[in-house]
Amino acid sequence: MTLLQVKNLNIAIDTPDGRIEIVKQVNLSVDKNDTLGIVGESGCGKSITALGIMSLLPTHSMVSGKILLEEQDLLALDEEQMCRIRGNRIGMIFQEPMTALNPVQTIGVQVAEALDLHKQLQKAEITSRVENLMEKVGLNVRRFPLNLYPHQLSGGQRQRVMIAMMIACRPDLLIADEPTTALDVTVQEQILELINDLAQKYGMALIMISHDLGVIAQTTKNVMVMYAGRIMEQGNTVDVFYNMAHPYTYGLFVSIPKTGSSRLETKKRLKSIPGHVPDLRENIKGCPFAPRCFRAQDTCRLQDPPPIAFGNGHTAWCFYPLVEKKSNHAAG
């Protein structure tokens, strides 16, 4: 059953240099208990899409399209109604655990925040639930009493507190915006596992935003590759990773450093995608990736690429995909 459906989402911000279209024509859907990964370089609109779903964009941004949470259009809600959805039905975990907790409040108070806001509970009931949550995220209450302050915890521990805070009301959907980027690799593993376990246990759908393909491969069933605010390729994670169709997805893949490949056997340099993410202030014609693409032809620079389906919902927006298309019917 579809939990979240985003239809033709456009997000633009007016700046002194003119209007910037940060997100353009994004469609996505997440089923209950489903996991969706959003990948892309920095500045390609991943986080903005997530903030758009939460209605937490800067006040002067313009949003159009539809964001349906079980038939209810979130864009039509006012701030007050939206406050009842945030933290209650949709939770969000942020990238920087060092700054995502209020330095002057105890962790107990912060974890209790969502419960306090959305559920009518007695004080004692809230405390026992908070203690329970802390155990669930792997922070033993005896070692980590609720009256600790964030600066007394490490990054990984703070991220656990953040997770506890966001799953407190057992939301239907959990958005994790690069939850492990600021953590070191060993902790990263534990946090990902924790998020996945909790999502499964509580039946929460998960949107995992990352620039790390490894994280996406490990945690998600479906994936969406974004570039310059547009979807480049989407589909089942296995399909996309084994039969990548879009040159951009391929570029992301070959940019991953592999162990042993660079030192002795071959003196190959780490591959990267040439060029940089386009300046969105400039009017982009055709495929935004064309200037950096090794397969780009003149058509790419002039026309918007059509969606090309490869079966099983695997779609790429490209004139010259890397794999043969299965049928001529374009599917959205």
Partner 1 sequence: MMLDRFREILRHGMGNRSFVIGGLISLVFFIIALLSYAWTPHAIENIDIKNKLLEPSWTYLLGTDHFGRDIFSMLIMGARNSVIVAFVAIGIGIGAGVPLGLIAAAEKGWIDELIMRFNDFTFAFPSLISAIMITAILGPGAVNSVIAIGIFNIPVFARVARGAALSIWKKEFILAARSAGKEKFRISVEHVLPNIFSILIVQATIQFALGILAEAGLSYLGLGTQPPAASWGKMLNEAQTFLHFAPQLAIYPGLAIALTVLGLNLFGDGLRDVLDPKLRRIR
CB of 99 to partner 1, least distance (A): 4
Among all chains, which residue has been given the structure tokens 């060029």?
A: 275
DSSP string, 139-191: --TTTS-TT--GGGS-HHHHHHHHHHHHHTT--SEEEEESTTTTS-HHHHHHH
Q: Are 111 and 105 in contact (CB under 8 A)?
A: no
Using the minimum distance from each CB to partner 1, give the nearer residue, 71 or 79.
79
Residues of span 10-69 touching partner 1 by CB under 8 A: 54, 56, 59-60
Using the minimum distance from each CB to partner 1, give the nearer residue, 83 or 323.
83
Q: Which of 8, 15, 72, 105 binds partner 1 (CB under 8 A)?
A: 105
Q: Which of 24, 46, 86, 136 binds partner 1 (CB under 8 A)?
A: 86
Which secondary-structure segment (H or E) carries 10?
strand 2-15
Lay out the site mask for partner 1 across 122-161 (x = CB under 8 A, - = otherwise): ----------------------------------------
* Token output for 75: 């864009």
Using the minimum distance from each CB to partner 1, give the nearer residue, 117 or 277.
117
- Helix, strand, or coil here: 217? helix
DSSP state of 270: P
CB of 152 to partner 1, least distance (A): 13
Burial of residue 328 (number of CB atoms within 10 Å: 0-12, 13-18, 19+) = exposed
Q: Which of 84, 151, 201, 281 binds partner 1 (CB under 8 A)?
A: 84
Per CB under 8 A, residues contacting partner 1 are 54, 56, 59-60, 79-80, 83-88, 90-92, 94-96, 99-105, 113-114, 117-118, 162, 165-166
